[in-house]
Amino acid sequence: MYKKKVLQSKGCGFAMAIVLCSIVLLLVVGTGLLNLGFHSRSFGARTCSGIAARCAADAALTKALFDMNRKLMASAWDSNTMPQVTDETLANCDATFSYNVRGDLGNNYVVTCIGSSGQTTKTVSAILRLQGLFDNAITAKNTIDLKTGTMVDGYDSSNPSAGDVPVKIATSSEDEGSIKLKPGASVDGDMLLGIDGYYPDVTPPILPAMGAIDLQEETLDLEPEQSGQYSYINVKNNGQIVIDGGDVVLHITGDMWFGQGTEFLIREGSSVTIYLDGDLTAGNSSGITNETQTPSNFALYGTGDDQRFELKAKSDWFGVIYAPNAEITIKAGANIFGAFVSADFEMKAGGYIYYDAALQNVTTTDVGVSFVVDRWQEE
């Protein structure tokens, strides 16, 4: 009897120990799960705050770029008053952002952007630079077609000792065959497809109405006083237009037509900027002669829809053309110096196209200029 009671007592103690161990184990597991849940929620909250703060910092950079370009378009540039934002709320979010701009045009501008959400802060720094319309040798919305013997190369007129300068030709189209190089054609640089092209509209300035230009076997001198709006330009039979005496600005609301043997001449110390609403046609042995040999001193802006520009180059041609809605065709008997922006571009005869890298050195008063992000980093 005594032995049986001892065995029963030991059995009850063993069961109690198992129950206690189970309770302790459940407490440990439960505490661990609660701790895991707490840390997971804390990690999730920190991650969400980090994402929101980074989005806010990116929004600050976007707004800074927008405000800088709005300031650029609004009035004469003044580096003494830079836009800034402090603790602005990000839409549909509890995050806030701030930014400030420092620097100058000569050394570029540095934007410091801060995004905050909860206890998390993200900082993004970016360098802004001015970008003009002619960062590439050739830019097209659709196609670029370079016939046999065409060479695209580069130089820098602002730094002659730089030697050869690698160039870019680019199209916004992603279609196969958007850039066509016939046998013997080459590009000393990169060919880019599917670029996110920026083709801003160019608006002609308000100029006095000056009638039309219609020449035949005669020479017309155009000086700054003759800057104005003309309904068309028609030059025939060895006629000549001479740009002289300074900077001339023309707005042509119709077409420009140059017959056989005609010439458009820019004298040393002069320049011409043309805003063309219509088409441009050049006959055989006609040409545009830029004695300054500076491409930007002959600037042609296509301001119409579905335009066609047919150019001839009987001698070395220096100029820039921005016509994102135009089909540009060049039949060159000489070298081309400058840059082109078009809907479609075709070089029909072999020859050199030299891109002048100095076209990237723009100012706040240049046509179509804007601030862009040159590079950025997260701190």
Q: What is the pLDDT of residues 43-53, one digit of tens each?
A: 555 678 889 99
The dihedral region occupied by 15, where left means phi > 0, alpha psi between -120 and 50, and beta the remainder, is: alpha
The pTM for the full model equals 0.83
Distance CA 194, CA 212 (A): 41
Distance CA(214)–CA(196), nearest Å, equals 41
72 or 230, higher pLDDT: 230
* Predicted confidence (pLDDT) per residue in 281-319, tens digit: 998 888 899 999 999 999 999 999 999 999 987 789 999
Average pLDDT of span 239-258? 97
Q: How confident is the model at residue 7 (pLDDT cuts 50, 70, 90)?
A: very low
pLDDT at 160: 85
Computed over every residue of the chain, the mean pLDDT equals: 89
Stretch 89-103: mean pLDDT, rounded? 92
**32/21: higher pLDDT:** 21
The residue-averaged pLDDT of 2-28 equals 64
Is the distance from CB of 293 to CB of 274 less than 8 angstroms?
A: no
Buried b (16+ CB within 10 A) or exposed e, 34-72: eeeeeeeeeeeeeeebbebbbbbbbbbbebbbebbeebe
Q: What is the pLDDT of residues 136-185, one digit of tens each?
A: 999 999 999 999 999 999 999 999 888 788 999 999 999 988 999 999 99
* pLDDT tens per residue, range 52-76: 999 999 999 999 999 999 999 887 8
Residue 94 has pLDDT above 90, yes or no: no
Which pLDDT band holds residue 18 (cuts at 50, 70, 90)? confident
Q: Domain-by-domain residue ranges, the chain?
A: 13-132+369-379, 138-360
Q: Which two tokens stand for residue 16?
A: 């109690």
The one-letter amino acid code at 199 reads: Y
Top-level CATH class of 13-132+369-379? alpha beta
* One-letter amino acid for residue 242 of the chain: V
CB 128 within 8 A of CB 62: no
Q: Are 264 and 258 in contact (CB under 8 A)?
A: yes
Q: Can you tell me the mean pLDDT for 322-346? A: 94
Report pLDDT for 42: 57
